[in-house]
Structure 1
Amino acid sequence: MSVSGRAVTVLGAGIGGLGCALALARRGGRVRVFEQSREIAEVGAGIQISPNGMRVLDALGLGDEVRAGAPRARAVSLRNHADGREVVRLDLARLAPGQDYRFVHRADLIGALATAAREAGVEIRLGRRVHGVEPGRPARLRLAGGATAEADLVIGADGVHSVLRPVLEGPQKARFTGQVAWRAVIDNDIDHPPEARVHMGPGRHLVSYPLRGGAAINLVAVEERAAWTAEGWDHADDPDALRAAFAGFGGRVPAMLGAVESVGLWGLHRHPVAGRWHGAGVALLGDAAHPTLPFLAQGANMALEDAWVLAACLDARDDTDAALARYQALRRKRVARVIAAAEGNAWKYHLRNPLIRRSAHLAMGLLGRVSPGRMVRGFDWLYAHDVTREA
């Protein structure tokens, strides 16, 4: 088989990178991970792992461990911003049997993946910054301080600022979407139920859902804004700025925002899906290949799917080039559809005209009452997909 005994270097100890490292090590690969940070921190807080992502975690043997501390989602509830009234409810209990949707703390998932990867023989090297990658057989890496390294295969799972992607694609500039997002975690003092609540308002929306057995609440708040300069996850902001931006929101929102003590802020940028995901001895994975906006909660799920499919394709073919081509062929159309669907949700949440917003909410509510099952089935293309069988 193609993986057994091969030296693989993964760039980035995120969800996709660690998931891929684990999947390759379980297939006999000699895997190391280079992570530029000196520790694996709790950046990002909450994520939603939908059934398609949970299938990968089950296949990796981590499903039960992740479920142990992650609330099972009962519903996605779209709500009016002014009074918190529910507009329409996507009842996740109507998903097909075996489709498990969870609210997970990112640090818990990263910790589980890292522990399992180390137990499988993966070497995780923290504080290792890679300055350049040269495709080839072997592929070569230039590290900070002048050191070099080689590998049979280098996988770029290093996010939107990937050092490998420009090698394959050339320089590309991201486009600011006109939206920024705040992220915070607070104590669950309002008895938030196990559902994702999307509070929709003019030019902005706020998502809330519980974490860690219901002890905490994850908040993601998005606002349309004319300008932004930086992109990333680590820009601290004043909680009062978040509260001011959502001052017109009612229901439980004021209580949740009042509990925010620290908050991160980042600009949402649109990156095209990479045209080339692989070259001689190199491949892209997750956000490095196809960054997505957070309006469908699929970034982590797509990275997990990529991780499994890449490992399975490499294991099924002795020809690495053919395996990487098969990986891209299996993934590119699906991730493009996910990205398009995520972008389409933004305008639905942010309707500014009161009459249009009221009409849209009435239509959504009517559909939810008349045909609730149809609304859930509309996500079968996403949630019912099983890459552990596909690849």
Structure 2
Amino acid sequence: MTLLGMNIGVLGGGIGGLTAALALAQRGAQVTVLEQAEQLREVGAGIQISPNGFCVLRALGLDKAIRACAVKGEAVELRDYKAARLVTRLDLGLLDEDQEYFLLHRADLIDVLAKACRESGVAIRLLQEAETVVLGPKPRVEMVNGDHFTADLIIGADGLHSVARKALNGTSAPFFTRQTAWRAVVPNTLSHPNVTRLYMGPKRHLVSYPLRGGEFVNIVAVQERMDWVDEGWSHKDDPDNLRAAFADFGGEVPALLAQVTDVNLWGLFRHPVAQKWFGEGVAILGDAAHPTLPFMAQGAVMAIEDAWVLADCLATSEVTSVGLAMYQSKRQERCTKIVAQASGSARKYHISFPPIRWAAHTGLGMFGAMSPKKMLGQFDWIYRFDVTSNVDGSIKS
């Protein structure tokens, strides 16, 4: 099926929505992005783009622009919290030459995607807050301000509280994981190397990595706690609360946290993976379809993969409904597996009982030292998966 002249509306101007808009426009569709904010922006800070996501951005012609604003990751280090002792290191240099791992600011990725979208003829309409989505042969988006938008296809890339997901699946209640996370960006005064560092402590962990050519450091700190914090990244908190929660962490952590002047706090909630990813004239992707906890650094990358596969399935199917069914079939199992893996990762980072933590960390260290390639190879099913090699996606051989 040709997408030439097909009118497609994309709800949400985030990473998933803009990637989908670009992939569809490059295949000939007439695409309009409907974004509720007054400008395209990301409230979050850092993002890690693993090789399975970068292969899509490269196929879309964005590799040079990404390299210009990102830091190429050299390793992922797991460290014990007290003295920041290195437990094990995943050497990203062991990846194939064309498998690259990047660390960048979300806002920079949004800027790259938005520029490419506009150059490809995508219309981006701001202040378009959707209230409901109506399925049908000519699906319709009803806006909060009373306006409406009609297209041949509506794609919901509208995040955790997706109105498109609600139209397809009804309402589902998330549950609080008893974990909260702080996010901050500080100047890189400590010469943080081009690695992701994950400090593992009792019921807590902290991640740091450089951004914007090493000028800044991104910090994400997760703590298990009973009190309820609403979803979203817009909740401001007192930096002293962050410092108090991680006061017993050693190494560079105290110096990093001492620089925090502005910090966001959000509660981590679990949502079920959607049962229905499409209906008549409507499809969903990214967090709208499969929200995930941030412990595998795959949330945005899954949305990027979704966008490519959705565009390819539509372009290679004679009928839209067949393309949409193919899209869900090709994506649901993989995304469900990654969501489950992310949900279990925090337990491995947060071991409280010292003898068990010592044994676990010793085992990790021995495995990493004796078999560094096998250590990294645990993630082949994620990193070596290339949706651009064919519409099915495949493990790169």
Asked whether the two chains share a fold, i.e. TM above 0.5, the reply is yes
Match of 1:5 in 2: 5
- Contact 1:95 1:377 (C-alpha < 8 Å) held by counterparts: no
1:146 counterpart SS class: coil
Task: Give the whole-Å Cα distance in 2 for the aligned partners of 1:41 and 1:14.
Answer: 8
Task: Give the whole-Å Cα distance in 1 for the aligned partners of 2:140 and 2:320.
Answer: 17
1:144, CA displacement in angstroms? 2.0
Alignment of 1:298-317 (within 5 A): 298-317=298-317
Long gaps (5+) in structure 1: none
Match of 2:191 in 1: 191
The one-letter code of the counterpart of 2:110 is I
The one-letter code of the counterpart of 2:349 is Y
Task: Give the whole-Å Cα distance in 1 for the aligned partners of 2:345 and 2:308.
Answer: 27
Match of 2:174 in 1: 174
Q: Deviations over 1:291-311 (max 9, x none)?
A: 111000001110100000000
Is 1:252 matched up with 2:290? Answer: no
The one-letter code of the counterpart of 2:165 is R
Q: Which runs of 4+ in 1 moved over 2 A?
A: none
Task: Give the whole-Å Cα distance in 2 for the aligned partners of 1:160 and 1:113.
Answer: 21
- Contact 2:41 2:110 (C-alpha < 8 Å) held by counterparts: no
Match of 1:41 in 2: 41
Task: Give the whole-Å Cα distance in 1 for the aligned partners of 2:280 and 2:290.
Answer: 20
1:341, CA displacement in angstroms? 1.4
Q: Deviations over 1:352-379 (max 9, x none)?
A: 0011101111111111111111011111
Match of 2:326 in 1: 326
Task: Give the whole-Å Cα distance in 1 for the aligned partners of 2:293 and 2:82.
Answer: 25
Alignment of 1:84-163 (within 5 A): 84-163=84-163
Task: Give the whole-Å Cα distance in 1 for the aligned partners of 2:2 and 2:333.
Answer: 25
1:233, CA displacement in angstroms? 1.2
1:61 counterpart SS class: coil
Q: Deviations over 1:230-254 (max 9, x none)?
A: 1111101110000000011010000
1:96 counterpart SS class: coil
Task: Give the whole-Å Cα distance in 2 for the aligned partners of 1:40 and 1:323.
Answer: 29
Same amino acid, percent of matched pairs: 55
Task: Give the whole-Å Cα distance in 2 for the aligned partners of 1:56 and 1:75.
Answer: 21
1:256 counterpart SS class: helix
Match of 2:295 in 1: 295
Task: Give the whole-Å Cα distance in 2 for the aligned partners of 1:96 and 1:292.
Answer: 27
Q: Deviations over 1:20-43 (max 9, x none)?
A: 001111111010001001012241
1:53, CA displacement in angstroms? 0.4
Task: Give the whole-Å Cα distance in 1 for the aligned partners of 2:29 and 2:377.
Answer: 39
Task: Give the whole-Å Cα distance in 1 for the aligned partners of 2:177 and 2:60.
Answer: 35
1:229, CA displacement in angstroms? 4.0
Task: Give the whole-Å Cα distance in 1 for the aligned partners of 2:78 and 2:18.
Answer: 33
Q: Deviations over 1:68-98 (max 9, x none)?
A: 1211111100001000110111111111221
2:71 counterpart SS class: coil
Task: Give the whole-Å Cα distance in 1 for the aligned partners of 2:390 and 2:297.
Answer: 22
2:265 counterpart SS class: strand
2:243 counterpart SS class: helix
1:164 counterpart SS class: helix
The one-letter code of the counterpart of 1:328 is Q
Match of 1:69 in 2: 69
The one-letter code of the counterpart of 2:86 is E
Alignment of 1:256-275 (within 5 A): 256-275=256-275
RMSD: 0.8
The one-letter code of the counterpart of 1:255 is A
The alignment of Structure 1 onto Structure 2 pairs a total of residues equal to: 391
2:388 counterpart SS class: helix
Task: Give the whole-Å Cα distance in 1 for the aligned partners of 2:95 and 2:340.
Answer: 22
Per the normalisation by structure 1, the TM-score is: 0.99
The one-letter code of the counterpart of 2:328 is Q
1:167 counterpart SS class: helix
Match of 2:395 in 1: none
The one-letter code of the counterpart of 1:166 is K
1:227, CA displacement in angstroms? 2.5
- Contact 1:2 1:319 (C-alpha < 8 Å) held by counterparts: no
Q: Deviations over 1:103-152 (max 9, x none)?
A: 01100100000011011010001111111110001001111221122110
Task: Give the whole-Å Cα distance in 1 for the aligned partners of 2:318 and 2:43.
Answer: 37
Alignment of 1:193-208 (within 5 A): 193-208=193-208
Match of 1:25 in 2: 25
The one-letter code of the counterpart of 2:176 is F
Long gaps (5+) in structure 2: 392-397
